[in-house]
Amino acid sequence: MKVAIFGQYYQNDTRPIIKDIFVFFNRNNVELVIEEKFLQILYKEEIVGKKYNTFASHHDLDSSFDILISIGGDGTILRAATFVRDSGIPILGVNAGRLGFLAKVQKENIESFLQIVLEKKYTISERTLLTIDCSPNCADIDINFAMNEVSVSRKDTTSMITIETYLNGEYLNSYWADGLIIATPTGSTGYSLSCGGPILTPEVNALVITPIAPHNLNARPLVIPDETEIKLKVSGREEQYLVSLDSRITSISNNSELLIKKTPFKINMVEIPEETFLKTLRTKLLWGEDKRN
């Protein structure tokens, strides 16, 4: 078995998590390949001592890898997806953060869940991605896909912006707001949720359009089929506005047009039988718990 390991940072409380992962895989003679910068952190903190092969970009990951282990929170998984891209390598998130809708494996259950990985008794959840085209060609975006959401927002002003929105060429609305979020089912539990958007289960073939602090209170979130092409034309008092693909942000000139659509490939997320999406919702959002006592 060949496993890639990725993390973005190190904190004292993640030390036992990282050690448990390395001890388990080394004990079971699993070939480990570590992201280059993360391995340097592990050497510096003296968490690992032996030499490992490394990867530095998506070009270094191919079909010989069985899985990628992401150590951190949901943001780390979003970054891990930029390494995996269209390779089809499944991603398993080990939660060393706080909320963790994507990072399912908790530190208390690491060894039992890694055993499931070793025996390949997991299932795969395919996650939709979004990509954008800019007209004229004005977006300096190195990694042009988003697993959570594409959002547009005001940049250097406190004034609202106007987002003229079309679905498959038909005019929908002109949102007068701080911004607009186009979220995938994966992203429906993120930024969109905090702005009042609905939660979609991962297998739903849909997207959510959620306005950010709209001026008109009748501008409500809208669920649309994920095959829809969404065209946005943003205008405002400033010369530029911000476009964000997950956590990657670029500036776009006023009155440029954005075309947002689904990518031809998906990201494979590892699903552990004991950690279902509905269980995650109950745990993270405290559903079903009576807090009156």
Q: Which residues contact 175 (CB under 8 A, 6 or more apart)?
A: 162, 163, 165, 211, 214, 219
Whether the CA torsion 72, 78, 79, 84 is positive or negative: it is positive
Say if residue 190 carries a ligand binding annotation. yes
Candidates 54, 18, 24; CA nearest to 37 is 54
Say if residue 194 carries a ligand binding annotation. yes
Say if residue 171 carries a ligand binding annotation. no
Q: Which residues of 201-239 are buried (b: 16+ CB within 10 A; e: fewer)?
A: ebebebbbbbbbebeeeebebbbeebebebbbbbebeee
Tell me the C-alpha distance between 269 and 34, whole Å: 19
Candidates 205, 32, 203, 27; CA nearest to 123 is 203
Say if residue 247 carries a ligand binding annotation. no
Say if residue 123 carries a ligand binding annotation. no
Q: How far is CA 179 from CA 33, 198, 250, in A?
A: 40, 17, 14
Say if residue 189 carries a ligand binding annotation. yes
Tell me the C-alpha distance between 66 and 216, whole Å: 49
Say if residue 183 carries a ligand binding annotation. no
Say if residue 206 carries a ligand binding annotation. no
Could you confirm whether 74 is annotated as catalytic?
Answer: yes
* Contact present, 17 and 96 (Cβ < 8 Å): yes
Q: Which residue has the tokens 């008794």?
A: 121
Say if residue 137 carries a ligand binding annotation. no
Say if residue 276 carries a ligand binding annotation. no
Say if residue 74 carries a ligand binding annotation. yes
Whether the CA torsion 260, 81, 269, 14 is positive or negative: it is negative
Out of 74, 156, 226, 290, pick the active-site residue.
74
Question: What residues are designated binding site?
Answer: 74-75, 79, 148-149, 178, 189-194, 213
Q: Which residues are catalytic?
A: 74
Question: What residues are designated binding site for NAD(+)?
Answer: 74-75, 79, 148-149, 178, 189-194, 213
